[in-house]
Copies of this chain bind each other. A is one copy, B any other.
Amino acid sequence: MVRNGQMHEIVRDGPNMKSTDRHILAARMGRIDSSEIRRVFQLAGKLENPINLSIGQPHFPTPAPIIQAMEKALRENRTAYTETQGILPLRERLSRKFHDQNGFTAHPEDILVSSGVSCLIQLLLLATIEPGDHVLLTDPCFLIYRSMLNFLGARITTIPEQFSLKDVEGLDGDLKLIIFCSPSNPSGHVMSAAQIRWLADLADQTGAVLVADEIYELFDYDGAFTSAGSIYPRTMTLMGFSKSYSMTGLRLAAATGPKDLITAMTTLQQYTVVCAPAPVQWAGIPALDLNMSSEVAAYRKNRNYVLERLRGRLNVGEPRGAFYVFPEIPGEDRAFVERAIMEKELLVVPGSVFTKKKNHIRVSYATDPDTLERGMDALLDLL
């Protein structure tokens, strides 16, 4: 029996594994697929010493005060469940951060601490999306939005990230969520205040919630970043510690937004993620006091260097934040990425992971200047 077109089948072996034709996976599993990325990583895994511009995390170490705060929390035996919503001192510190740095008010009781922005997106989508629900994304976008929305059966409309008022005015009135990431993974695009206002108006007209993934907020090289919550109160703001403080493997993030949606996500967290790792929550408090300007300045320099090297060769738009560029390349992205790996031991990510277009690559410049220079040499050689 093939169940709803499901392609997977549980492997059955061993003495009690009677073969049946019963399929166990939900049909929705057929709608997420990581084979594309896996194929690239399998190819890349064969390389001895690749030039790695595929990385989605800072190359600098986690700042010492964060490590020390975790060690202190461990010494104090802060290893038990915390309250589902996150420890109050962290939510209080986040409340101050949203006020001081993001320019909006978020009370501690309206903040949910979770185990990474991906976890928050999952909680948000599980709490809201029913099959057929309509969601607006900007294109290109972080692959998890599209994957999890497909998984849950949402209907997706995209507008280019460089959208104008005209692009938004043409949209219909039946939207549940409007999701964007600024500064953007994968393009480095920073959403202008005007663009956010247009999306906010659309949210107002349609009853949709505006979801602003601001995990790259610190990597804002031209002072162009506006936090959506400062423009529009009905924003679900997602903030993360992973990129800002190079703690991707420590799993800490927070959301704030419409009260009942935060309540629903908290209820759901209680039944799934339970809580963010306790000692990491404690370390999140001093993290928010850190001055990361020298790390950001280094990546600004990297961004400028990449723009300079690619000028006149590849079109990268205006990457003003995060630590990626997303150039259009001649030919098909997967073939290009395979050639980069085979001919130059250069790792970049095929753009079709982030957009339906097949002629872009994502280049990360979250690395040291030497690696970046070798990467740019290799990339330009390939053209």
**Is A62 touching B34 in the complex (CB atoms < 8 A)?**
no
Tell yes or no: A279 within 8 A of B by CB.
Answer: yes
Q: Evaluate whether A32 and B267 lie within 8 angstroms (CB atoms) in the complex, with A26-B129, A80-B248, A118-B274 already known.
A: yes
Residues of A93-130 whose CB lies within 8 A of B: 115-116, 118-119, 122, 126-130
Tell yes or no: A337 within 8 A of B by CB.
Answer: no
Q: Evaluate whether A118 and B249 lie within 8 angstroms (CB atoms) in the complex, with A29-B264, A204-B16, A258-B10 already known.
A: no
- For residue A175, which residue of chain B has the nearest CB? B22
Residues of B within 8 A of A18 (CB): 204
Residues of A247-261 whose CB lies within 8 A of B: 247-251, 258-261
**Is A272 touching B119 in the complex (CB atoms < 8 A)?**
yes
Which of A78, A147, A232, A267 is the most central at the interface, judged by chain B CB atoms within 10 Å of its CB?
A267
* C-alpha gap A143/B181 in the complex (Å): 36
Tell yes or no: A25 within 8 A of B by CB.
Answer: yes
**Is A271 touching B25 in the complex (CB atoms < 8 A)?**
no
Tell yes or no: A171 within 8 A of B by CB.
Answer: no
**Is A12 touching B234 in the complex (CB atoms < 8 A)?**
yes
**Is A78 touching B233 in the complex (CB atoms < 8 A)?**
no
Which of A33, A206, A260 is the most central at the interface, judged by chain B CB atoms within 10 Å of its CB?
A260
Q: Is the interface of A mostly helix, strand, loop or mixed?
A: loop
Q: Evaluate whether A232 and B16 lie within 8 angstroms (CB atoms) in the complex, with A273-B115, A275-B251 already known.
A: yes
- For residue A41, which residue of chain B has the nearest CB? B83
Residues of A114-162 whose CB lies within 8 A of B: 115-116, 118-119, 122, 126-130, 133, 144, 147-148, 151
**Is A260 touching B10 in the complex (CB atoms < 8 A)?**
yes
Residues of B within 8 A of A200 (CB): 16
Question: In the complex, what's the smallest C-beta–C-beta distance from A249 to chain B, in angstroms?
Answer: 3
Q: Within the complex, which residue of B29, B70, B133, B247 is in contact with A127, where a contact is CB–CB below 8 Å? A: B29
Q: Within the complex, which residue of B25, B57, B246 is in contact with A128, where a contact is CB–CB below 8 Å? A: B25
Query: C-beta contact mask, A298-337 vs B, less than 8 Å → 1, else 0?
Result: 0000000000000000000000000000000000000000
